[in-house]
Amino acid sequence: DQQVKQNSPSLSVQEGRISILNCDYTNSMFDYFLWYKKYPAEGPTFLISISSIKDKNEDGRFTVFLNKSAKHLSLHIVPSQPGDSAVYFCAASEGGSEKLVFGKGTKLTVNP
Amino acid sequence: SQTIHQWPATLVQPVGSPLSLECTVEGTSNPNLYWYRQAAGRGLQLLFYSVGIGQISSEVPQNLSASRPQDRQFILSSKKLLLSDSGFYLCAWSVMGYYGYTFGSGTRLTVV
Protein backbone atom coordinates (compact mmCIF):
# COMPACT_ATOMS: atom_id res chain seq x y z
CA ASP A 1 0.00 0.00 0.00
CA GLN A 2 1.82 3.04 -1.29
CA GLN A 3 0.75 6.15 0.58
CA VAL A 4 2.90 8.56 -1.43
CA LYS A 5 2.91 8.15 -5.17
CA GLN A 6 5.06 9.68 -7.84
CA ASN A 7 3.55 8.27 -10.99
CA SER A 8 6.11 9.64 -13.40
CA PRO A 9 9.39 7.77 -13.09
CA SER A 10 11.13 10.25 -15.37
CA LEU A 11 10.78 13.72 -16.84
CA SER A 12 12.87 15.48 -19.47
CA VAL A 13 12.79 19.25 -20.05
CA GLN A 14 14.84 21.85 -21.88
CA GLU A 15 17.08 24.24 -20.02
CA GLY A 16 15.23 27.45 -19.18
CA ARG A 17 11.79 25.86 -19.26
CA ILE A 18 9.60 24.92 -16.33
CA SER A 19 9.86 21.50 -14.69
CA ILE A 20 6.76 20.23 -12.91
CA LEU A 21 7.06 17.19 -10.71
CA ASN A 22 3.90 15.69 -9.29
CA CYS A 23 3.09 13.75 -6.16
CA ASP A 24 -0.15 12.23 -4.89
CA TYR A 25 -0.91 10.88 -1.45
CA THR A 26 -3.66 8.76 0.02
CA ASN A 27 -3.35 9.37 3.76
CA SER A 28 -5.52 12.34 4.71
CA MET A 29 -3.67 12.57 8.03
CA PHE A 30 -0.46 13.72 6.33
CA ASP A 31 0.11 17.32 7.32
CA TYR A 32 3.65 18.09 6.26
CA PHE A 33 5.26 17.51 2.91
CA LEU A 34 8.84 17.71 1.73
CA TRP A 35 10.81 17.42 -1.47
CA TYR A 36 14.27 15.92 -1.54
CA LYS A 37 16.78 15.95 -4.35
CA LYS A 38 19.19 13.07 -4.90
CA TYR A 39 22.24 12.79 -7.10
CA PRO A 40 23.66 9.35 -7.97
CA ALA A 41 25.70 7.71 -5.20
CA GLU A 42 24.77 10.45 -2.73
CA GLY A 43 22.22 10.80 0.03
CA PRO A 44 19.10 12.87 -0.63
CA THR A 45 19.24 16.53 0.36
CA PHE A 46 16.32 18.59 1.54
CA LEU A 47 14.92 20.98 -1.03
CA ILE A 48 11.68 22.56 0.10
CA SER A 49 8.70 21.79 2.32
CA ILE A 50 5.13 22.84 2.92
CA SER A 51 2.73 22.56 5.81
CA SER A 52 -0.88 21.56 5.22
CA ILE A 53 -2.01 24.98 6.44
CA LYS A 54 -0.51 26.52 3.32
CA ASP A 55 -1.13 25.94 -0.36
CA LYS A 56 2.11 27.39 -1.69
CA ASN A 57 5.70 27.81 -0.60
CA GLU A 58 8.40 29.43 -2.65
CA ASP A 59 12.18 29.38 -2.38
CA GLY A 60 14.04 30.94 -5.27
CA ARG A 61 13.46 28.90 -8.41
CA PHE A 62 11.54 26.25 -6.48
CA THR A 63 7.86 26.43 -5.62
CA VAL A 64 5.73 23.73 -4.04
CA PHE A 65 1.96 23.76 -4.43
CA LEU A 66 -0.40 21.77 -2.23
CA ASN A 67 -3.98 20.87 -3.13
CA LYS A 68 -5.37 19.18 -0.04
CA SER A 69 -8.76 18.38 -1.52
CA ALA A 70 -7.09 16.52 -4.36
CA LYS A 71 -4.36 15.10 -2.12
CA HIS A 72 -1.85 16.36 -4.62
CA LEU A 73 1.30 18.40 -4.51
CA SER A 74 3.66 19.56 -7.16
CA LEU A 75 7.15 21.00 -7.36
CA HIS A 76 7.81 23.68 -9.95
CA ILE A 77 11.34 24.57 -10.99
CA VAL A 78 11.63 27.77 -13.02
CA PRO A 79 13.86 28.17 -14.92
CA SER A 80 15.24 24.66 -15.08
CA GLN A 81 19.01 24.27 -15.20
CA PRO A 82 21.18 21.27 -16.17
CA GLY A 83 22.38 21.09 -12.54
CA ASP A 84 18.80 20.34 -11.52
CA SER A 85 19.11 16.93 -13.17
CA ALA A 86 18.60 14.48 -10.32
CA VAL A 87 16.00 12.19 -8.76
CA TYR A 88 13.36 14.09 -6.79
CA PHE A 89 11.56 12.41 -3.92
CA CYS A 90 8.30 13.55 -2.44
CA ALA A 91 7.85 12.76 1.26
CA ALA A 92 5.08 13.20 3.81
CA SER A 93 4.64 12.96 7.55
CA GLU A 94 1.61 12.55 9.73
CA GLY A 95 0.51 14.43 12.80
CA GLY A 96 3.81 15.52 14.28
CA SER A 97 5.62 12.28 13.55
CA GLU A 98 9.20 12.66 12.41
CA LYS A 99 8.89 9.50 10.31
CA LEU A 100 8.72 10.29 6.63
CA VAL A 101 7.00 8.27 3.95
CA PHE A 102 8.69 8.63 0.58
CA GLY A 103 7.50 8.23 -2.96
CA LYS A 104 9.48 6.23 -5.52
CA GLY A 105 11.05 9.33 -7.02
CA THR A 106 11.05 11.06 -10.39
CA LYS A 107 14.24 11.32 -12.40
CA LEU A 108 14.49 14.79 -13.89
CA THR A 109 16.78 15.41 -16.83
CA VAL A 110 17.35 19.00 -17.92
CA ASN A 111 18.85 19.16 -21.38
CA PRO A 112 21.15 22.04 -22.32
CA SER B 1 27.34 21.98 13.03
CA GLN B 2 25.68 18.64 12.70
CA THR B 3 27.22 16.01 10.45
CA ILE B 4 26.43 12.41 9.68
CA HIS B 5 29.01 9.83 8.70
CA GLN B 6 28.21 6.60 6.96
CA TRP B 7 30.63 3.94 5.81
CA PRO B 8 31.73 2.17 3.77
CA ALA B 9 30.66 3.91 0.57
CA THR B 10 30.72 0.72 -1.47
CA LEU B 11 30.60 -2.91 -0.45
CA VAL B 12 30.54 -6.17 -2.40
CA GLN B 13 29.71 -9.20 -0.31
CA PRO B 14 29.04 -12.86 -1.17
CA VAL B 15 25.71 -14.47 -0.42
CA GLY B 16 25.66 -15.88 3.09
CA SER B 17 28.29 -13.52 4.47
CA PRO B 18 27.61 -11.19 7.43
CA LEU B 19 27.07 -7.45 7.15
CA SER B 20 27.77 -4.48 9.37
CA LEU B 21 27.14 -0.91 8.27
CA GLU B 22 27.82 1.92 10.66
CA CYS B 23 26.41 5.40 10.95
CA THR B 24 27.45 8.10 13.39
CA VAL B 25 26.09 11.57 13.98
CA GLU B 26 27.99 14.56 15.34
CA GLY B 27 26.81 17.86 16.70
CA THR B 28 23.48 16.83 18.14
CA SER B 29 22.14 14.89 21.09
CA ASN B 30 19.41 12.29 21.25
CA PRO B 31 18.64 12.32 17.54
CA ASN B 32 16.09 10.05 15.92
CA LEU B 33 18.01 7.72 13.63
CA TYR B 34 16.80 5.88 10.55
CA TRP B 35 17.97 3.26 8.10
CA TYR B 36 16.48 3.43 4.61
CA ARG B 37 17.09 1.29 1.57
CA GLN B 38 16.72 2.24 -2.06
CA ALA B 39 16.53 -0.92 -4.15
CA ALA B 40 16.83 -0.86 -7.93
CA GLY B 41 13.77 0.77 -9.46
CA ARG B 42 12.19 1.43 -6.11
CA GLY B 43 11.83 4.35 -3.76
CA LEU B 44 13.18 4.91 -0.30
CA GLN B 45 11.96 2.22 2.05
CA LEU B 46 12.20 2.74 5.79
CA LEU B 47 13.85 -0.29 7.39
CA PHE B 48 14.45 0.73 11.00
CA TYR B 49 14.18 3.77 13.20
CA SER B 50 15.36 4.52 16.70
CA VAL B 51 14.33 7.21 19.16
CA GLY B 52 16.99 6.35 21.74
CA ILE B 53 19.75 3.99 22.86
CA GLY B 54 18.63 0.39 22.56
CA GLN B 55 15.24 1.38 21.13
CA ILE B 56 14.74 -0.05 17.65
CA SER B 57 11.57 -0.26 15.62
CA SER B 58 11.42 -2.40 12.51
CA GLU B 59 9.20 -1.29 9.69
CA VAL B 60 9.38 -4.34 7.45
CA PRO B 61 10.18 -8.00 8.07
CA GLN B 62 13.52 -8.82 6.56
CA ASN B 63 16.90 -10.41 6.84
CA LEU B 64 18.42 -7.39 8.57
CA SER B 65 18.66 -6.07 12.11
CA ALA B 66 19.67 -2.78 13.66
CA SER B 67 21.25 -1.71 16.90
CA ARG B 68 21.94 1.57 18.65
CA PRO B 69 24.68 0.96 21.20
CA GLN B 70 25.36 4.67 21.72
CA ASP B 71 23.29 7.83 21.41
CA ARG B 72 24.81 8.84 18.09
CA GLN B 73 25.68 5.45 16.62
CA PHE B 74 23.37 3.31 14.51
CA ILE B 75 24.39 -0.06 13.09
CA LEU B 76 22.73 -2.16 10.40
CA SER B 77 23.59 -5.84 10.44
CA SER B 78 22.86 -9.17 8.88
CA LYS B 79 24.08 -12.63 9.82
CA LYS B 80 23.69 -14.03 6.29
CA LEU B 81 23.20 -11.81 3.29
CA LEU B 82 20.75 -12.64 0.51
CA LEU B 83 20.91 -11.48 -3.10
CA SER B 84 17.78 -9.43 -2.42
CA ASP B 85 19.67 -7.40 0.19
CA SER B 86 21.49 -5.55 -2.57
CA GLY B 87 20.70 -1.86 -2.68
CA PHE B 88 21.68 1.61 -1.60
CA TYR B 89 21.50 1.99 2.17
CA LEU B 90 21.00 5.36 3.72
CA CYS B 91 21.27 6.47 7.30
CA ALA B 92 19.44 9.61 8.38
CA TRP B 93 18.81 11.61 11.51
CA SER B 94 16.19 14.03 12.71
CA VAL B 95 15.59 16.00 15.86
CA MET B 96 12.39 15.85 17.88
CA GLY B 97 10.04 18.62 16.88
CA TYR B 98 11.70 19.37 13.57
CA TYR B 99 10.54 17.92 10.30
CA GLY B 100 12.88 16.58 7.72
CA TYR B 101 15.91 14.39 7.77
CA THR B 102 19.57 14.82 7.12
CA PHE B 103 20.87 11.87 5.18
CA GLY B 104 24.29 10.31 5.09
CA SER B 105 26.08 9.74 1.81
CA GLY B 106 24.91 6.13 1.58
CA THR B 107 26.44 2.68 1.11
CA ARG B 108 26.08 0.82 -2.17
CA LEU B 109 25.81 -2.87 -1.23
CA THR B 110 26.06 -5.52 -3.90
CA VAL B 111 25.50 -9.10 -2.85
CA VAL B 112 27.00 -11.58 -5.31
pLDDT per position as a tens digit, B46-86: 999 999 999 999 887 778 999 999 999 999 999 999 999 99
Question: Does the distance separating the beta carbons of B99 and A44 come in below 8 Å?
Answer: no
Establish whether the linkage from the previous residue to B8 is cis, with ω within 30° of 0.
yes
Count of C-beta atoms within a 10 Å radius of residue A100: 26
Distance from the Cα of A89 to chain B's closest Cα (Å) equals 8
Q: Using the CB atoms, write b or e for B83-98: b if 16+ within 10 Å.
A: eebbbbbbbbbbbeee
Q: Which of A44, A98, A29 is nearest to B50 (CA)?
A: A98
pLDDT band at B99 (very low <50, low <70, confident <90, very high): low
Q: Whats the size of chain A, residue-wise?
A: 112
Question: Does the distance separating the beta carbons of A49 and B44 come in below 8 Å?
Answer: no
Q: If interface means Cβ-Cβ distance under 8 Å, which residues of chain B face chain A?
A: 6, 9, 32, 34, 36, 42-46, 49, 88, 90, 92, 94, 96, 98-106, 108
Count of C-beta atoms within a 10 Å radius of residue A65: 17
pLDDT above 90 for A97: no
